[in-house]
Amino acid sequence: MKLPDFDYHSPTSLDEAITLMATPNARVLAGGQSLLPIMAFRLAAPSALVDLRKIKGLDKIEITQDAIHLGPMVRWRDVERHEGLAAALPLLTQAMEHVAHYQIRNRGTVGGSLAHADPAAEFPGIAVTCDARIHLAGANGKRVVAAGDLFVGPLETCLQDGEIITSIELPRWPQARRWAFEEFSQRRGDFALAGIALFYDLDGERRAQNVHIGVIGATDRPRRLPGAEAALNGQALSDEVIAKACAAACAEVDPPTDIHGSAEYRRSLVGTLLQRALVKASS
């Protein structure tokens, strides 16, 4: 478990980073909490690492009228400690409490988490649930992709070679929005066996509208649960309605089986966690 040989660069501007990323098989280095273990296991052997830490401004958190902008180098610790984020997007800060342990939280970044695309990671789930827009820059210019389109499969994104995540944009919330985050992992700080992030708005008759439900851990990538959302949209949240939504959620996930959990167990967790999240959000 020693690192293979590689070149190391720490550019001071984004342009310089983009140029360096044209090197074949170069990889961005952010917090290194996922990339370095993968290299130690020899699952990756990049020719060069392009460290973003010296590029000014990439670790900024900005809250504007319409959106929250997170620089890719914002660390879990920064999210946790930020003055305004908890009020502006409570679902985000609540979910981040479940990420790893404090040593890792001191280094791990939001950009790294998205690019790494672990199906059980919290932040990608929040990005998908909250309709985040991901800003990318590469040799061929800039583009923006919806979080829902970013993830292709386990540890797989639509990023092209050399492309860098430069910013994450999350829409602002109405004050009265209902939300909840629930996840289950064997030990605190472990990757989730399953997790649910959700929000909805209540209309004048206290019916749920604009329901967004995202799932992590129980699918090959973070995704929304349209069946469960449909079961809730336009409904007042009764036990019966919640049960229907949970049944729909269980039916529309296709979880993997591995040594940490069977598909059947994970499917059941999705139902349990959705039920708990809906009860929490509605009370």
Partner 1 sequence: MRTVNTYIGSPVERVEDYRFLRGEGQYVGDLVREGQWHAAFVRSPVGHGVIRNIDCSAALAWPGVKAVLTAADIEGEIPKIPFRRPNPTIGPYAQPIIASGKVRYFGEPVAVILAESAEIAEDALAAIVLDIEQLPAAIDRQTCMSDKVVLFDHPGSNIATVFHANKGEVDAAFAAADVTVRGQFSTQRQTALPMETRGLLAEWDPKSNHLTVYGAAKLPFFNRKTMADLMGLPETAVDYIEVDVGGGFGARGEFYPEDFLVAFAARKFHKPIRWIEDRREHLTAIGHSREAECDVELAFSKDGTLLGMRGDLFVNVGAYVRPNGMTPVRNAAQFMSGPYRIPAIHLQAHAYVSNKTPAGTYRGPGRYEGSFFIERLMDLGAARLGMDRLALRRRNLVTDAEMPYPLAPVLPSDGRAETNCDSGDYRVCFDKCLEEFGWAQKAEFDGKLIDGRYHGLGIACFIEGGASGPSETARMEIEADGSVAVYAGSSAIGQGLETVLSQIAADALEISIDRIKLYHGSTTYLKEGWGSYGSRATVMGGSAVIDAATKLLEAFKVAAASRLKLDPSELTIVDGVARAKDGRSVPFDEVASMEIKADGRFDNWKPTYSYGTSAVHLAVDPGTGHVDVIDYTIVDDVGRIINPLTLHGQVTGAVVQGFGSAFSEELVYDADGTLLVGSLADYLIPVATDYPHVHCVSMESFPSPINPLGAKGAGEGGIISVGGAVANAVASALRDFGVQPSRMPLNPQRVWELIQDGKKALAST
The verdict on 170 binding ligand FAD (CB under 6 A) reads no
Cβ 99 vs Cβ 123: under 8 Å: yes
Cβ 275 vs Cβ 249: under 8 Å: no
The verdict on 167 binding ligand FAD (CB under 6 A) reads no
**Chosen from ligand FAD, partner 1, none, partner binding at 272 (C-beta under 5 to 8 Å by type):** partner 1
The verdict on 164 binding ligand FAD (CB under 6 A) reads yes
Size of the chain, expressed as the number of residues it contains = 283
Stretch that binds ligand FAD, among 4-12, 60-68, 109-117, 227-235 (CB under 6 A): 109-117
Stretch that binds partner 1, among 11-19, 24-32, 162-170, 265-273 (CB under 8 A): 265-273
Nearer to partner 1 by Cβ, of 81 and 101: the residue is 101
Nearer to ligand FAD by Cβ, of 61 and 164: the residue is 164
Specify the amino acid at residue 79: V
Long-range contact set of residues 130-133: C-beta below 8 Å, sequence gap at least 24: 130/89, 130/91, 130/92, 130/170, 130/171, 130/197, 130/199, 130/212, 131/170, 131/171, 131/212, 132/168, 132/169, 132/170, 132/171, 133/168, 133/169
Q: Which residues from 191-230 bind partner 1, rule CB under 8 A?
A: 191, 193
Q: How far, in Å, CA of 250 to CA of 32, rounded?
A: 35
Residue 165 region, left (φ>0) first, then alpha (ψ -120 to 50), else beta? beta
Among 11, 72, 195, 222, contact with ligand FAD (rule: CB under 6 A):
72
User: Within a 10 A sphere around the Cβ of 142, how many other Cβ atoms?
Assistant: 10
Give the x-and-dash track for 68-107 against partner 1 (CB under 8 A): ---------------------------------x------
Cβ 162 vs Cβ 153: under 8 Å: no
Nearer to partner 1 by Cβ, of 8 and 41: the residue is 41
Cβ 253 vs Cβ 219: under 8 Å: yes
Cβ 186 vs Cβ 173: under 8 Å: no
Torsion, Cα 21 27 33 34, to 10 degrees, reads: 140
First and final CA of the chain: distance in angstroms? Answer: 49
The verdict on 219 binding ligand FAD (CB under 6 A) reads no
Stretch that binds ligand FAD, among 9-17, 107-115, 126-134, 222-230 (CB under 6 A): 107-115
Among 10, 32, 80, 282, contact with ligand FAD (rule: CB under 6 A):
32
The verdict on 74 binding ligand FAD (CB under 6 A) reads no
Binding site for ligand FAD (CB under 6 A): 27-35, 37, 52, 72, 99-100, 104, 107-109, 111-113, 115-116, 121-123, 164-165, 189-191
Binding site for partner 1 (CB under 8 A): 1-5, 41-42, 101, 184, 186-191, 193, 259-262, 265, 268-269, 272, 275-276
